[in-house]
Amino acid sequence: MKLILLGAPGAGKGTQANFIKEKYGIPQISTGDMLRAAVKAGTPLGLEAKAIMDAGGLVRDDIIIGLVKERIAEADCANGFLFDGFPRTIPQAEAMKEAGVTIDFVVEIDVPDEVIVDRMSGRRAHLPSGRTYHVKYNPPKVEGKDDVTGEDLVQRDDDKEETVKKRLAVYHEQTEVLVGYYAKQAEAGDATAPKYVKVNGTQAVETVRDQVFAALGA
């Protein structure tokens, strides 16, 4: 099972990725993890990527594709893999296709922006323990206080409404075009194109999971 998981930040991709990984026994591959591993291992591509990142630049697509090819050749990818946050752009998707990296499914977890803003901006965290709450869906017993210690809860910077909206804007601008790119390929009947699946991510986590599995033929 080789698949790409698409969806806006906060759509619930991480949760669904865990279900998919467990069911199919495949690794989740993110470009961030790959870059860190290559830099740590001191591979030629890793060293090149490090030099670019140290200079504050964006790592070129050819380096990313090279890392992807190296990564999916490893033993744990024998049964497939799950790409999370890759490809991010159409040039990356095209380069991956040209490199002969085949994908079985593209799964989009679809959640409207206003729902994501509501989900994320309502999160509160107890940083020492990692416990999280939501002001609306999972409130603490005492407003603003951790249930166990009574200490203050905080809103992480990543969860602030303006930050969430900025991240969504970047997603719509850069990555959402991939949804159309893969949907068009599937509609055109391209035999090498991955099957495209769209699931409503506003449903219960288990319902989303079951619909994803049904679409994947599990």
Which residue out of 40, 141, 156, 166 is catalytically annotated?
A: 156
pLDDT value of residue 218: 63
pLDDT value of residue 207: 97
**DSSP structure string for 114-170:** HHHHHHHHTEEEETTTTEEEETTTB--SSTTB-TTT-PBPB--GGGSHHHHHHHHHH
Rg of the chain (C-alpha set): 19
Which residue out of 23, 36, 50, 88 is catalytically annotated?
A: 88
The token duo for 115 is 């729902």
Q: Annotated catalytic, 13?
A: yes
Q: Annotated catalytic, 167?
A: yes
Which residue out of 2, 13, 71, 124 is catalytically annotated?
A: 13
Find how far residue 85's CA is from the centre of its chain: 4
Q: Annotated catalytic, 2?
A: no
Q: What is the mean pLDDT of each run of 10 residues along the chain (218 residues)?
A: 92 92 93 86 91 85 89 92 88 89 93 95 95 94 97 94 92 87 84 89 95 90
Helix (H, G, I), strand (E, B), or coil: what is residue 213?
helix
Which residue out of 23, 160, 167, 195 is catalytically annotated?
A: 167
Q: Annotated catalytic, 123?
A: yes
Which residue out of 2, 71, 119, 123 is catalytically annotated?
A: 123
- Half-sphere exposure of residue 202: CA atoms within 13 angstroms, side-chain side: 8
pLDDT value of residue 76: 93
